[in-house]
C-alpha cells in the first residue's frame, strides 16, 4: 500500500488543559506512523466556517447527528472568542505511512455517550454528556480527525490554503493580566527521542506542561549542518578553551605511560594549548553531527544548508517568566546532576544526549528562533508532496 497522509487536530480545550503530550504519545506509539509535520493555527472566521461546513458530508460514514454535533462544536469552539475577538489556538499534526487515515482514526476513536475504558484518545480526553431529555449537555471531542481518505485530502487542502495566513508562530492568542510581561522561549526535543516510534517526544512535552506556559509555535525540524553550526556557534570557543586542562591532563598521563618518564609541569600547559582547541573542534563537530546527522567534513560545503537526516521538534513557549520556568523543568546540562523530576534526569543520558534544549535567555531565544524558524511552513510542503499543489 502506498504512503498516505492523515491529520489530527488538537482542540483549543485540549491545548489549554495541557493534554498535548499525552495525545501525541498515543498517536506515535499506537499508530506506528511517522510524524511528518506539525503546525500551530489560530483559525480565522473564514477557515472555521469552511471547515465546519465540510464536516457535513454524505461521504462521511459517521451518523448525521454526529456530523452536526461536530459542526456546531467547531463553530463554537474554534472561532475567535466573541468577547475579546482573540483567536483560539489549535495544533495540527500530520502523520504519514501505510493506511494512515484508518490507523489514526482507530487511535482517536469514535464519539459515543457510552464511555469505555480509555482505549482511545476520546475515551480518555473527550466527553459527551446527554441529559435525561436526550439533549447534549456537554461535548468535547479532544481531537478532530478525518473519517476516510477522501475526506482527509479535501480537509487537508482546506487547512493548507490557510496555513500561511492563519498558521505559524501565533501572536495575540494569550490573554494576560495588567502588568504581566510575557516572554517567549525555544525548546528543541532532540533527535534521540525519534530513533524509533516511542512516547518520548510526547512525554517530554508533558513534563513541560507543568510550567503552565502556552505553546504558540511548533515545527518538525530537520536541522541542517549550517544551522547546527550557527545554532551552537557560541559553544565552540567555550569547548576550545574550557576543556584545555582536562585534555592536557589526559595527554600528559598517556604520554608518560607510553614513554616511561615524567613530563615537566610547563609541558602539560603546552599540551593543553596544542590539543585543547583541536579537541574542542572535534567535540563541536560531534554536536553538529548529533543534531543534523552529518559532521561538516562528512558532506560538501555546498550541501551544508540542506535539511539534515535527524528529526527534532521545535516548540515556542509563551508566558510569564517563560525562560526560567522551562529551564527549571528541563534541568542542568549534565543529566547526572539534574534533580529528580526534571526532564534531563528522567530522559537524559549524557551531556550531549540530554533529551532537549532550551534557550537560556530572551536574547538567545530570539537568536535561536531566527535560526530554526519554527514558523516556517513545512506543513504546506508535506501536504503538497502527497496531495498535489493547493
Element (H, E) at 143: strand 143-144
- 323-362 in b/e form (b: 16+ CB < 10 A) is bebbbebbbbeebeebeeebbbbbbbeeeeebbbbbbeee
Backbone angles phi, psi at 159, to 5 degrees: -65, -35
The interaxial angle of helices 244-259 and 233-242, nearest 10 deg, is 40
Asked whether the beta carbons of 89 and 169 are under 8 A apart, the reply is no
Q: Which residue has the cell 524558524?
A: 373
Helix (H, G, I), strand (E, B) or coil at 310: coil
Between β-strands 312-320 and 182-189, what pairing exists: parallel, antiparallel or unpaired? antiparallel
Q: For residues 312 and 189, what is the distance between their CA atoms, to the nearest angstrom?
A: 5
Predicted model pTM:
0.92
- Tens of pLDDT, residues 79-104: 999 999 999 999 999 999 999 999 99
Asked whether the beta carbons of 248 and 269 are under 8 A apart, the reply is yes
Residue closest to 202 by CA, chosen among 313, 323, 326, 368: 313
Asked whether the beta carbons of 21 and 209 are under 8 A apart, the reply is yes
Strand partners of residue 315: 187, 218
- pLDDT computed for residue 242 by the predictor: 77
The interaxial angle of helices 265-292 and 244-259, nearest 10 deg, is 120
Which residues lie closer than 8 Å to 82 by C-beta, 6 or more apart?
none
Backbone angles phi, psi at 112, to 5 degrees: -155, 145
Element (H, E) at 144: strand 143-144
pLDDT in tens, the chain (390 residues): 578 999 999 999 999 999 999 999 999 999 999 999 999 999 999 999 999 999 987 777 777 888 899 999 999 999 999 999 999 999 999 999 999 999 999 999 988 767 666 789 999 999 988 888 888 889 999 999 998 998 999 999 999 999 999 999 999 999 999 999 999 999 999 999 999 889 999 999 999 999 999 999 999 999 999 999 999 999 988 888 877 777 777 877 888 788 888 888 887 778 777 777 888 888 999 999 999 999 999 999 999 999 999 999 999 999 999 999 999 999 999 999 999 999 999 999 999 999 999 999 999 999 999 999 999 999 999 999 998 898
Q: Which residue has the cell 495575540?
A: 172
Residue closest to 12 by CA, chosen among 65, 75, 56: 75
Q: For residues 32 and 34, what is the distance between their CA atoms, to the nearest angstrom?
A: 7
DSSP secondary structure letter of residue 296: G
Q: What angle (nearest 5°) sits at the alpha carbon of residue 373, between those of residues 240 and 286?
A: 30
Asked whether the beta carbons of 204 and 345 are under 8 A apart, the reply is no
Helix (H, G, I), strand (E, B) or coil at 147: coil
- 64-103 in b/e form (b: 16+ CB < 10 A) is eebbebbbebbbebbbbeeeeeebbbbbbbbbbbebbbeb
Q: For residues 383 and 48, what is the distance between their CA atoms, to the nearest angstrom?
A: 19
Q: Domains in the chain, ordered, with CATH?
A: 1-168+375-390 (3.30.70.141), 228-303 (no CATH)
Amino acid at each position: 500500500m502506498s504512503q498516505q497522509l492523515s491529520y489530527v487536530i488538537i482542540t483549543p480545550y485540549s491545548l489549554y488543559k495541557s493534554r498535548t503530550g499525552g495525545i501525541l504519545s498515543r498517536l506515535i506509539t499506537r499508530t506506528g506512523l511517522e510524524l511528518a509535520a506539525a503546525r500551530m493555527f489560530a483559525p480565522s472566521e473564514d477557515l472555521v466556517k469552511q471547515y465546519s461546513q465540510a464536516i457535513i458530508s454524505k461521504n462521511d460514514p459517521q451518523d448525521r447527528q454526529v456530523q452536526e454535533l461536530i459542526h456546531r462544536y467547531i463553530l463554537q469552539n474554534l472561532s475567535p472568542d466573541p468577547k475579546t475577538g482573540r483567536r483560539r489556538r489549535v495544533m495540527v499534526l500530520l502523520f504519514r505511512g501505510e493506511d494512515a487515515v484508518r490507523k489514526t482514526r482507530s487511535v482517536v476513536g469514535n464519539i459515543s455517550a457510552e464511555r469505555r475504558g480509555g482505549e482511545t484518545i476520546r475515551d480518555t480526553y473527550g466527553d459527551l454528556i446527554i441529559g435525561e431529555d436526550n439533549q447534549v449537555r456537554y461535548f468535547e471531542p479532544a481531537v478532530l480527525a478525518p473519517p476516510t481518505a477522501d475526506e482527509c485530502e479535501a480537509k487537508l487542502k482546506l487547512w493548507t490554503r490557510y496555513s500561511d495566513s492563519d498558521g505559524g508562530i501565533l501572536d495575540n492568542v494569550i490573554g494576560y493580566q495588567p502588568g504581566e510581561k510575557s516572554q517567549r522561549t525555544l525548546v528543541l526535543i532532540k533527535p534521540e527521542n525519534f530513533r524509533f516510534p516511542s512516547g518520548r517526544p510526547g512525554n517530554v512535552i508533558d513534563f513541560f506542561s507543568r510550567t503552565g506556559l502556552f505553546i504558540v509555535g511548533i515545527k518538525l525540524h530537520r536541522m541542517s549542518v549550517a544551522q547546527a553550526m550557527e545554532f551552537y556557534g557560541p559553544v565552540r570557543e567555550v569547548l576550545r578553551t574550557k576543556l584545555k586542562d582536562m585534555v592536557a591532563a589526559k595527554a600528559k598521563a598517556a604520554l608518560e605511560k607510553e614513554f616511561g618518564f615524567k613530563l615537566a609541569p610547563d609541558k602539560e600547559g603546552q599540551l593543553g594549548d596544542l590539543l585543547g582547541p583541536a579537541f574542542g573542534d572535534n567535540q563541536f563537530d560531534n554536536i553538529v553531527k548529533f543534531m543534523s546527522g552529518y559532521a561538516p567534513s562528512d558532506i560538501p560545503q555546498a550541501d551544508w544548508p540542506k535539511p539534515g537526516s535527524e528529526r527534532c521538534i521545535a516548540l515556542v513557549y509563551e508566558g510569564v517568566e517563560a525562560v526560567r520556568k522551562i529551564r527549571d523543568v528541563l534541568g542542568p546540562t549534565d543529566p547526572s546532576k539534574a534533580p529528580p523530576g526534571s526532564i534531563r534526569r528522567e530522559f537524559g543520558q549524557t551531556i550531549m544526549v540530554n533529551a532537549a534544549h532550551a534557550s537560556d535567555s530572551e536574547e538567545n531565544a530570539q537568536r535561536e528562533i531566527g535560526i530554526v524558524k519554527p514558523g516556517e511552513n513545512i506543513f504546506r510542503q508535506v501536504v503538497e508532496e502527497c496531495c498535489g499543489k493547493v
